[in-house]
Homo-oligomer: A and B are copies of this chain.
Amino acid sequence: MVSRERILEAAGRVYAKHGFRGATTRLIAAEAGVNEVTLFRTFGSKGALFEAVLEQSDVCSEVNPLPDPAVDPEEELTIWVGEHLQRIHDLRPMLIQAISELDERPEVADFACRGRDEVHEILTDYSAGLQRAGRADSAADVFAAVTMLISSVMGDAMGRPMVPESFPPIDEAPRRYVRCFLRSIGVASSR
């Protein structure tokens, strides 16, 4: 029963590259090193195979928490943003395909947006903590700032492979985004 996993993996790779329409069963079978018939015997249909693919891609989307209470915002956020960036970057090709097929295959919607709310909440709570502790401007527009930070991470993961010169060097990016974010909610730089 090792075929099942090889097919799932291969289907994920092929789907990320070519989308649902372009991911032919022939291609997937070849990529998995498996006979095409085995694919149908195992999953029944192409549609069912991709449901299984999206289901298993589910697990890898757990989001890390942020410390409560905050101790060193710049440091803590930089690490968190770096991890988040990496996570989105890994999901990038599959995410893009899923989004581009939203109209035709609405069932991928929750895969595509999954996690965004949670991420928003984590960052908002953390920032609210900073406000309560008097370390962030209580009049700051935390909601907009958080939205911008999340969009920046998404935009970086999505756009960097296409136009790298539009983004800070990858090793500096998380810290620089975080610094801008902190300034925008009125947290003084720690160094």
Asked if A22 is at the interface of the complex by the 8 Å CB criterion, the answer is yes
The reply to whether B163 and A147 contact each other, CB–CB distance below 8 Å, is no
Copies of this chain, tallied across the complex: 2
Q: Which one of B103, B145, B180 lies within 8 Å of A141 (CB-CB)?
A: B180
CA distance A116 to B117 in the complex (A): 27
Asked if A26 is at the interface of the complex by the 8 Å CB criterion, the answer is no
The reply to whether B112 and A162 contact each other, CB–CB distance below 8 Å, is yes
Binding site for B on A (CB under 8 A): 17-19, 21-22, 96-97, 99-104, 109, 112-113, 116-117, 120, 140-141, 143-145, 147-152, 154-156, 158-159, 162-163, 165-168, 173, 176-177, 179-181, 183-186
Residues in chain B near residue A101, CB distance under 8 A: 19
How far apart are A107's CB and chain B's nearest CB, in angstroms?
14
CA distance A183 to B181 in the complex (A): 9
Give the top 7 A-B pairs by smallest Cβ distance, nearest first.
A151-B155, A100-B100, A144-B176, A184-B184, A180-B184, A21-B21, A148-B152
Residue of B nearest to A180 (CB): B184
Chosen A-B contacts, 26 in total, with CB atoms closer than 8 Å, are A17-B104, A18-B104, A19-B21, A19-B101, A21-B21, A22-B104, A97-B100, A99-B162, A109-B162, A112-B162, A117-B166, A143-B168, A143-B176, A144-B176, A144-B177, A147-B152, A147-B167, A147-B168, A148-B149, A150-B166, A151-B152, A151-B159, A154-B155, A154-B159, A180-B184, A184-B184
The reply to whether A162 and B102 contact each other, CB–CB distance below 8 Å, is yes
Which residue, A97, A103, A140, A184, has most C-beta atoms of chain B within 10 A? A184
